[in-house]
């Protein structure tokens, strides 16, 4: 298991069970009973995070037998089983809420992403994820977005250059074209994207030949004009006001 995922699961279990791994109710009503359970969906959804859910069960009790019934990326109906677990009943109860917290969150991300992908309904158009993720959950939530048919944009500030107005204001180094040139010289292997919110800004940016242009909060008609201006050149991304 990835070390970051292991640490995240451990922190989640400590939140629920405390540092001593105690379920007071199960301890008070101690039982040696064994059994099995199936995790079922309450509504139609796109599955994601099943390997994480299984890892939570095993982190609580290595003797639990866990079977993924529906792999990530599957579309399921309300009431369908997605995960089966068997073993000590107390261990299953101790893990239950943490398992569901991971599964519900990640299935929710995948399902909402699927809805946007279906709404776009164009093979040349991709639904990209963002950095607006739950702290500590970024890799999981971005993986869930891919399960929903989305595409990873960038993992963080380290793997792409995105020049926004705040960067230009702080930089004070000159034009947008100069900023793109400077960034390309410093990080020649990284994608360079520039954010614009007017067509005048876009005209200036296109002269700098970035890899991508982010069209921020543009009305549909202005967005169409911007995409046409970029046609045959850089790739375009629309953000803001998309509901």
d(CA 43, CA 40): 9
Whether residue 132 lies in the annotated active site: yes
Q: Does the CA dihedral 119-121-122-127 come out positive or negative?
A: positive
* Nearest to 5, CA basis, from 50, 55, 54: 55
Active site residue 164: yes
Active site residue 105: no
Q: DSSP letters of the chain?
A: --HHHHHHHHHHHHHHHTTTT--HHHHHT----EEEEEEE-SS-EE---HHHHHHHHHHH-TT-EEEESS-TT-EE-TT-EEEEEEEEHHHHHHHHHHHHHHHHHHHHHHHHHHHHHHHH--TT---B--S---TT-HHHHHHHHHHTT-B---SSTTS-EEE-HHHHHHH-SS-HHHHHHHHHHH-TTS-EEEEESSHHHHHHHHHT--SEEEEES--HHHHHHHHHHHTTSSEEEEESS--
- The catalytic residue among 42, 122, 132, 186 is 132
Catalytic residue among 61, 80, 84, 97: 97
Of residues 164, 184, 191, 222, which has the active-site annotation?
164
| Active-site residue set | 97, 132, 164, 195, 216
């Amino acid at each position: 298991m990835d070390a970051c995922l292991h640490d995240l699961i451990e922190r989640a279990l400590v939140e629920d069970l405390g540092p001593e791994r105690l379920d007071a109710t199960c301890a008070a009503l101690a039982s040696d009973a064994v059994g099995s359970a199936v995790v079922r969906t309450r509504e139609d959804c796109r599955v994601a995070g099943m390997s994480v859910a299984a890892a939570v069960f095993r982190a609580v009790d290595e003797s639990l037998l866990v079977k993924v019934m529906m792999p990530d990326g599957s579309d399921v109906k309300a009431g369908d089983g997605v995960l089966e677990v068997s073993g000590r009943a107390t261990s299953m109860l101790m893990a239950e809420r943490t398992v569901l917290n991971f599964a519900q969150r990640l299935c929710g991300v995948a399902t909402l992403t699927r809805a946007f992908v279906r709404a776009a309904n164009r093979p040349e158009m991709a639904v990209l994820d963002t950095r607006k993720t739950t702290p500590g959950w970024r890799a999981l939530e971005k993986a869930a977005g891919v399960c929903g048919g989305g595409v990873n944009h960038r993992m963080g500030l380290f793997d792409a250059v995105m020049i926004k107005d705040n960067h230009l204001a702080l930089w004070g180094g000159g034009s947008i074209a100069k900023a793109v040139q400077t960034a390309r010289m410093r990080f020649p292997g990284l994608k360079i994207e520039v954010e614009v919110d007017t067509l005048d800004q876009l005209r200036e940016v296109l002269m700098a030949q970035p890899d991508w242009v982010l069209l921020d909060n543009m009305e549909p008609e202005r967005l169409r004009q911007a995409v046409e201006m970029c046609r045959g050149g850089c790739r375009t991304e629309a953000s803001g006001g998309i509901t």
